[in-house]
Every structure is written in structure tokens, then in C-alpha cells.
Amino acid sequence: MRLRPTVLAATYLILSNIQYAYASALTTAIGANVRMCFYAEVDKPKEKIGFYFAVQSGGSFDIDFDVKDPRDVVILEGKQERQGDYILTANHVGEYAFCFENDMSTITEKLIDFDIMVESEPRKETPGKPTQLSEHTSALEESIFKLSGMLTSIERSQKYFHTRENRGFSTVKSTHNRIFWYSFFECVGIVGMACAQVYILQTFFNRTGRKYKV
């Protein structure tokens, strides 16, 4: 089956006007008392910045964060947050800083999964007359935006289950370590008590200057 030129032109028009984005999805470990920053460049004002993060493991699964614009002004911050999903409007052109801070922890390292996405909306010339494309464009736009929404929903669900899986694994690992050390110190205590009892009994029956007749 061959598509008509008008349908192809309408498809090209919609795809050319759909938002494009460049993103950086990373997973990084942040040590105790460490502040770590990541940067995203914005080329045009009013662009959208998507910022997602989730603490995968470490401590109570929380972290401090803040977002600064190119003027070094804090536009978003949070304390002891486990995860977040934000959409920001970049009012200024330049470099935006996304920082995580693990000051509340003295020995525990935190594993952070985060995603920074910068979106823009380029406009291209229409490859045909609007009257020829109007009836095809509306149906294609609706279908494409529905698919985009479904993909976004699936992506968010995957991130949610990924975070739950990592947190569950971290909890199981921490519980296993606690049980191991509890059992170890319990065995050490039992052996220590047995040795202490033997020593006390030997000292009691072998006191200097005393003799016992049977």
C-alpha cells in the first residue's frame, strides 16, 4: 500500500514540529559529607528542563539537592528527599547546575539515579499549503501525542519499579549484614561467658593458702 503525498507531507510536518530533547541519564555514588554537581547547557530562553532523581541505596534513602540558574540563583531545592520529578522553565540562557549534597550522613554512601533533560520546540516551514494538510495533521497529531504520553507513562513506571527494586535489595542486604554481625557478637559473647565461668571456678577452687579435703 502506498501513502499519498499529502499524508507523507503531513507526517513530516508533525514530526518536524514535535519537541526534541537531549538528556543525560546517570547513576552515581555520593560519599558521606560530599557535594556533587552536574550541569546542563540551555541555548534559548523559555526552554523546558526535566529533572528526575531517586536515591537507590544508602541510609534512609534521602538526599539534599538544589538547582541553580546561570546567575547562581537557587530556583529549586529540597532537604532529605527520596526522589523527585520536576519540570522547570529556563528563563535565562547559560549553564544550569544540579547539585546533590550528602552532608546529613557521616559514613554512609548514597547511590543516586538521575536524569536531566533539556527540551526545545524548533519550527520549520510547512512543505505544502495548510488547506491541503489540515485534515491529515489533526488526526496524526492526536495519535502521535497519545503515543508520546503512553511512552512517558511507561518510562515513569519503569523508573518507579527500578527504584523500588534497588531499595528492596539494599534493605535485604543491610538486614543480612545486621543478622550476620548480631550472630557473630552473640557467639563471641557466649564463648566469652563460658571462658569467664571456667576462670572463675578455677580461681575459686585454687585460691592460694587454702586446701580442701574430700
The reported pLDDT for the residue numbered 7 is 43
More confident call, 69 vs 209: 69
What is the pTM (predicted TM-score) of this model? 0.57
Q: Torsion angle, CA of 130/134/140/144, rounded to 10 degrees?
A: 60
Closest CA to 104 of 61, 144, 137: 61
Ordered DSSP codes for 125-161: --SS-HHHHHHHHHHHHHHHHHHHHHHHHHHHHHHHH
Confidence at 137, pLDDT banded by 50, 70, 90: low
Residue 131 CA to residue 68 CA, distance in Å, equals 45
pLDDT the model gives residue 101 = 92
Kindly report which listed range (46-60, 81-95, 121-135, 166-180) carries the lowest average pLDDT score. 121-135
Q: Give pLDDT, residue 75.
A: 93
Distance CA(147)–CA(95), nearest Å, equals 32
Task: For 60-108, write each residue's pLDDT tens digit.
Answer: 888 999 999 999 999 999 998 888 888 888 999 999 999 999 887 778 8
> Is residue 44 scored above 50 in pLDDT?
yes
Where are the alpha helices (H) located in the chain, listed in sequence order? 5-17, 130-205
> 109-129: per-residue pLDDT in tens?
888 888 888 876 444 444 444
CATH 3.40.50.10860 fits 20-120, yes or no: no
Alpha-carbon gap, residue 134 to 112, rounded angstroms: 46
Q: How far apart are CA 148 and CA 151, in angstroms?
A: 5
The answer, yes or no, to whether residue 28 has pLDDT greater than 80, is yes
Kindly list the distances between the CA atom of residue 146 and the CA atoms of 35, 47, 53, 153, in Å, as whole numbers in the listed order. Answer: 40, 22, 25, 11
Could you write out the DSSP letters of every residue in 161-179? HHHHHHHHHHHHHHHHHHH
pLDDT at 12 > cutoff 50: no
Share of the chain above pLDDT 70, in %: 73
